[in-house]
Chains A and B, each alone.
Chain A
Amino acid sequence: MTTVEVLFVVLGVLAVGSALLVAVSSNLVHCALWLVVTLGALAGIYLLLAAEFVAWVQVLIYLGAVVVLLLFALMLTQAPIGVLTGLTSANRALACLVAVSTSAVLVVVFSVGFRDARIDIRTGDIGSATAIGSTLFGSWVLAFEVLSVLLLAALVGAIALSRRSEHATGGDTVQDGGH
């Protein structure tokens, strides 16, 4: 095995192991922190696969923003710190069966289809910020603009959902004033 393969196996085991801990941990904050480990290991895997820009975007957006948002939501929903019981639903055996069969089907299909395929990284493949930026604003510029509209819509939707509704606070008084 080459150094890259050894590093890949270490990072892959780290990612899958901490994802398993996300699935079984009974402490909500620990779940979020194990998710950080999974996402960080995936960023390392992206670096090994020569996707440099995607790796840094992963660190910035997932580790920086998404996990902080999740912790923020845990804090706002007054999650008790410490071990909780009843975090897993009663039909966990069924969910486990579905998850294991999904993984098994995917692994079997991939190992039948790509048993001998190898990735050989060339220097031209390295997805630096320059390379990704030039393709993103060249071939993919329409999708990029549509995505920016989608992000704007999501922003407006999140604000509309999270502002206090008129009915709950002052809506009745306003209607009374109208009468």
Chain B
Amino acid sequence: MPLLYPLVVSSLLFGIGVYVAMARRHAVLVLMGVELMLNAVNLNLVAFDAFWHDVVDTGQVLALFVIAVAAAEIGLGLAIVLLVFRTHRHINVDDLRELADRDASDRDAGDRRREVAP
């Protein structure tokens, strides 16, 4: 089969993952976008492994490593999401602005908003 087929599928999956991670506001959906991007990379690794007939299976072993790192990432990411939910009662990533770089007037406005909110 042409090598281009898996490469095109992985490019499209990576683009969709970028869109999901950037445009979605729910933190769990953002994590799903990251998973889509990691899977696109895995597909590339496996396709090039089959293309080069690698003796030590570099692509497939690296794909396994990426899967393990993705499992670690999703565990830590969900722990952070649950912690954010416990402190803020929501996980809307657009509204989590405590770490934003703002000047003094903006910060005062944000503090007032936070005092009004509860």
User: Whole-angstrom distance between the alpha carbons of A9 and B5 in the complex?
Assistant: 8
Range class of the B interface residue count: 35 or more
Which residues of A have CB within 8 Å of B3?
114, 117-119
User: Whole-angstrom distance between the alpha carbons of A145 and B31 in the complex?
Assistant: 26
* In the complex with contacts A35-B35, A66-B71, A89-B16 CB distance below 8 A: no
B15, A102: Cβ atoms closer than 8 Å = yes
Range class of the A interface residue count: 35 or more
User: Whole-angstrom distance between the alpha carbons of A5 and B69 in the complex?
Assistant: 31
* In the complex with contacts A99-B19, A102-B14, A154-B75, A74-B32 CB distance below 8 A: no
User: Whole-angstrom distance between the alpha carbons of A69 and B11 in the complex?
Assistant: 26
- Please tell me which one of the listed residues B11, B63, B72 contacts residue A54 in the complex, with CB atoms under 8 A apart: B63
A132, B60: Cβ atoms closer than 8 Å = yes
Least Cβ distance of B18 to chain A in Å? 4
User: Whole-angstrom distance between the alpha carbons of A86 and B17 in the complex?
Assistant: 19
Interface pairs (20), CB distance under 8 Å:
A28-B29, A35-B35, A39-B39, A45-B43, A51-B46, A62-B70, A66-B74, A70-B28, A70-B74, A77-B82, A96-B23, A110-B7, A110-B8, A111-B4, A115-B4, A119-B50, A127-B49, A127-B57, A135-B57, A136-B61
Spell out B's residues near A (CB within 8 Å). Answer: 1-20, 22-26, 28-29, 31-33, 35-36, 39, 42-43, 46-47, 49-51, 53, 56-57, 59-61, 63-65, 67-76, 78-83, 85, 91, 94
